[in-house]
A and B are shown apart, each in its own frame.
Chain A
Amino acid sequence: MTWLVPLPVVMPLLGAAATLLMFRRPRVQRAISVSVLTATLVVSAALLVLAAGGPLVVAVGGWPAPLGIVLVADQLATLMLVVSSAVTLCVLLYSIGQGGADGDEEHPLSVYHPTYLILTAGVTNAFLSGDLFNLYVGFEILLAASYVLITLGGTETRIRAGTTYVVVSLLSSVIFLAGIGLIYAATGTLNMAQLVERLDALPDGVRLVLQGMLLLAFGIKAAIFPLSAWLPDSYPTAPAPVTAVFAGLLTKVGVYAIIRTETLLFPGGRVADLLMVAALSTMVVGILGAVAQSDIKRLLSFTLVSHIGYLLFGVGLASRAGLSAAVFYTLHHIVVQTTLLLVAGLVERRGGSTALDRLGGLARTAPVLAVLFLLPALNLAGIPPFSGFLGKLGLIQAGAGEGSALAWLLVAGSAVTSLLTLYALARVWNLAFWRTPATDPAAAPLRSSRLMVTSTAVLVVAGMLFTVAAGPLYALTDTVAADLLARSPYVRAVLP
């Protein structure tokens, strides 16, 4: 069944080609996009099931590892695949519901569909890649597509924000590329499984340099403090579905890369303390940023940054419990952060803005919207019984298990961050949903189509499912963590 492995990349790319050729026929484009992403989801789910029996490895072009590129669908990768393709599908439906056709300056669909599909292909490629340089290519694919999406419509704010995003990303790409060049220089290979052994043989100082370069490159993409400030400046300006999928997925690809490389290539926790300090400052600075905001989208961008700190906390612990919690939290956060930004899009259409000083009374005027906001908001704040709580609990348990002073500090930091997240979101609820606005919203509200609401609701429910299915899911992330720490299952699968 290994022939399934390349499909999550190949299908979206073929879809992109088809939508480009069909660019004058929006309906056909839509049909292609939806069916391609649905198929991707199905294939991903199948891969998840198959990967339970051990990583599926494909040597692309029939060139055996380490000569050519391998795609590795292990449980971590397939988990990420399933969640990300589900999210991308929902966001696609949402954006289709949002309508907009050619002629609508804000949402040029003929650009949107192919680019969106390419973005998806980049994300899936990054998850599946078992080759360091191919990981870079995967990043470039998703970045290139994201550059297009973030500047969609080309308004002044989007250009400004897009510039920040593009230039920072370009710098990170340069650093990544240089890092890969250095790794190849030092080891003579790009195959990650082979790097396991060759990197182990390097002197400590060299390893540290290489590790630092990769961490820096991924840290920018994952938005770790102090490499994170670009994110809240750029994400919120894009169209709602774009912001949503960026917030949900793109930073997580960075996190995924960190998890993968830190466990596989650079185990042993040499930089654990550094990661923990970064995690703490990311959490705290990020959430303080959220508290200081008065616009829902920006606020959510800051919570995004802040919660990356949680993920990093788990990685920094480098224990099975920590990694397991980090992976679980990553999956949860993809869904919940996307959902909230989609809701923010609905709010924008209903209230004419996402600025807190212009909103109000939505709980009365839009009760469904209120529910759609409240549930994921509580989930994000880590209120039980939602998955955000379970992930946070796992991290706190892992931190307590580690027991160092720094770990305790992070446990405290997690708690404070959680509280401030709740504070920030409750304030949104107070102001946007409860308060009667001082002035009537100037612009007549845009109707949100049923498809938009439904796809958001599906994501909300998906977030709830994490709670219901937390038992088996957590067991799964636990085996993922064990495999990550053991390294050998991966290596044996790639280089038998």
Chain B
Amino acid sequence: MIVVAVFLAAAAGMTLIRIVRGPSTLDRIVAMDVLLAITVCAIAAEAAWSRDATGLPILLGLSLLGAVGSVAVARFADPAAARKSGTGVGES
């Protein structure tokens, strides 16, 4: 179990690095998605470990709605204008 925790922790750490480093907002969004997925994993793993199901409703919420944030960002990314001004998603 410790191994599981360490793996997940390492994954989270690397994801966090990507969030901090970017370089683009979409990179960060992707990384945040991954972080949420890792969180889901961690919660489920914790539930499995402790045989405690109280966290499961959280998983329902996360799995159904966790992506809404990144969809919102992606939805309002305006590539045309971004390209025009030269300061779009790709900039760090």
A and B: direct contact (Cβ < 8 Å)?
Answer: no
